[in-house]
Amino acid sequence: MNGVRCKELSYLVALLAGMLAPEAQAFDARAYRLVDLTHPFNTDTIYWPTEPMRFELTRLAYGDTPAGYFYSANAFCAPEHGGTHIDAPIHFAQSKRTLEALPLEQLIAPAIVIDIAGKTIGDRDYRLTRRDVLDFERAHGVVAPGSILLLRTGWSRFWPDRKHYLGDERRGAAARLSFPSYGAEAARLLVEERQVAVLGVDTASIDYGRSQDFIVHRIAAAKNVPGLENLTGLEALPPRGATLIALPMKIEGGSGGPVRVVALIPRP
């Protein structure tokens, strides 16, 4: 009998707890300014010069069916690394995370934006320095662990002009590329010391265009830090305060893939 009463009491407590629990709070998009940081995928999408393919969209169906309703369907084909996309750590580090293994906590996190657009105007090969990061921190506070670090170079203004965006419009070769990005010492500070979750940039690579050793990719990948590349619209984000959502296609075993990147900026 005592056992039965104990079960009944437990049930009553659970029932009351459910009745008194506050209602779940719905997400109110009106409280945020939503900024899309993604280039659309189409025939103009820029891919790394050595990629053998480009984005292709093939129409499979479009029009009214015999049953009287409209129906549309397409097939698409694309390399992993092109357009607004993410590099999984395995892209440059054997045995590190593949695309589907990236934790959501890495892909949805506070965003920090370092703006070097003024420094790239006269130097298209400019690389973010350790001093740049420390100067930013003096002005805006230390970069917190788990942040998504976004580097604004201003380069998205050239999209989709391959010549100006990449520095070389030839396909099949990447020896003469020229665009700004992260420097090795800045990457080490951000990845190893500050322990950021992701490195992102509005150019074609988290390594600057003339890089031949891809050291920034290697520094990041060694710590399971992915890279977001070919972002756009970073000028709309504050140095800190936004939340970034970067959700790629969940390609099992992938070294990267297309990603839709959205920033949520709280309204005053």
What's the predicted TM-score (pTM) here? 0.89
The full length of the chain comes to: 268
The more confidently predicted of residues 20 and 257 is 257
Question: Alpha-carbon distance 85 to 230, whole Å?
Answer: 7
Q: Say which residues have a Cβ less than 8 Å from residue 105's Cβ, sequence separation at least 6.
A: 146, 197
Q: Does residue 136 register a pLDDT over 80?
A: yes
At 12, is the pLDDT very low, low, confident or very high (cuts 50, 70, 90)?
very low
The per-residue pLDDT for range 168-227, each reduced to its tens digit, is: 988 887 889 999 999 999 999 999 999 999 999 999 999 999 999 999 999 999 999 999
Peptide bond into 89 cis (omega under 30): no
Bridging pattern class, strands 227-229 and 56-64 = unpaired
pLDDT in tens, 112-131: 999 999 999 999 999 999 99
Residue 16 confidence (pLDDT): 45
Tell whether the model's pLDDT for residue 1 goes beyond 90.
no
Per-residue pLDDT band for 22 (boundaries 50, 70, 90) equals low
161 has pLDDT over 80: yes
The CATH number of the structural domain formed by 31-49+80-266 is 3.50.30.50
Burial (Cβ within 10 Å: 0-12, 13-18, ≥19) of residue 115: middle
Q: Is the sign of the CA dihedral 48, 49, 53, 58 positive or negative? A: positive
Q: What does the domain layout of the chain look like in residue ranges?
A: 31-49+80-266
**pLDDT band, residue 10 (cuts 50/70/90):** low
End-to-end Cα spacing for the chain? 59
